[in-house]
Copies of this chain bind each other. A is one copy, B any other.
């Protein structure tokens, strides 16, 4: 407890066990990284505030526009996505929207929500190799090979089991191109991602493995300077929107204890045949 203060009659002490650079609180005072909240309100959009909270600085309008594009493009991928299915199922179980959202967001793990984080890491590794003098194409090929050796065949941010071409990816890359031309970002991560796409096309000889939403948003997050783990965190913020929308739509549709398949269908059973419980267990 390092200091004390007296305001509105109550004494407060600062407890060093909880220490933050994000927010300063006193009675009547809320400041984020030094900026008084009442000055931020009305001046920052939601995405600008997201940037400030994670980076300690207010973004430029150009940076904010890129962040907006990444965040709004990944909000939803329909009820076949685990997070969306869970949000809708949970919404029929008699819990609050906050609970349905939490059960769903919780599943944005390494497989369902981690591709953006993994793609940023891959892109960073390629750029590091480029910075030591390799060509971007060579660096892409060798880092892909390393990735496959360490983690298996799925290259994060590329390929889609449903979309032959993910309609979000080319549009996002186009926006990054414009931003790079305008000097908002360097464009280097876009070049890297395109090199990965080319290397994969090369390797698979005709079977296209085009960039997907995770790859394209990873380009944006990396261009904006976010560390890799925040690519996952930002995806959680983004997908939370679709999770909420579907939980709410399901609540409006009604239903109690919605199962994954229609009620006249039973799961298949593949265990032992009926048997008697042994006596004297």
Seen from chain A, the residues whose Cβ lies within 8 Å of a Cβ on chain B are 1-2, 8, 10-50, 53-54, 56, 58, 61, 67-69, 71-73, 75-83, 85-86, 88-90, 92-114, 161-168, 170-172, 174-175, 229-230, 232-234, 236-238, 240-242, 244-249, 251, 253, 256-278, 281
Contact = CB atoms under 8 A, between A and B. Distances in A.
Nearest to A162: B27
A251 B109 CA distance: 14
A46 B49 CA distance: 11
Contact of A242 (B53, B246, B259): B53
B72 A25 contact: no
5 contacts: A21-B249, A22-B76, A38-B167, A41-B171, A229-B248
Interface centre among A32, A37, A83, A248 (most CB of B within 10 A): A37
Contacts of A42: 69, 171, 174-175
A71 to B, nearest CB: 4
B168 A23 contact: no
Given A85-B260, A175-B42, A244 B249 contact: no
A206 to B, nearest CB: 14
Name A's interface SS.
Answer: mixed
Contacts of A17: 261-262
A190 to B, nearest CB: 15
Contacts of A24: 269, 271, 274
Given A46-B47, A268-B15, A245 B82 contact: no
Given A93-B111, A94-B114, A98-B106, A53 B82 contact: no
B109 A269 contact: no
A93 B97 contact: no
Nearest to A21: B271
A245 B72 contact: no
Given A13-B265, A41-B171, A95-B99, A245 B53 contact: yes
Contacts of A53: 75-76, 241-242, 244-245
A277 B6 CA distance: 27
Contact of A260 (B35, B36, B38, B261): B261
A78 B15 contact: no
A197 to B, nearest CB: 17
B230 A22 contact: no
B237 A18 contact: no
A155 to B, nearest CB: 14
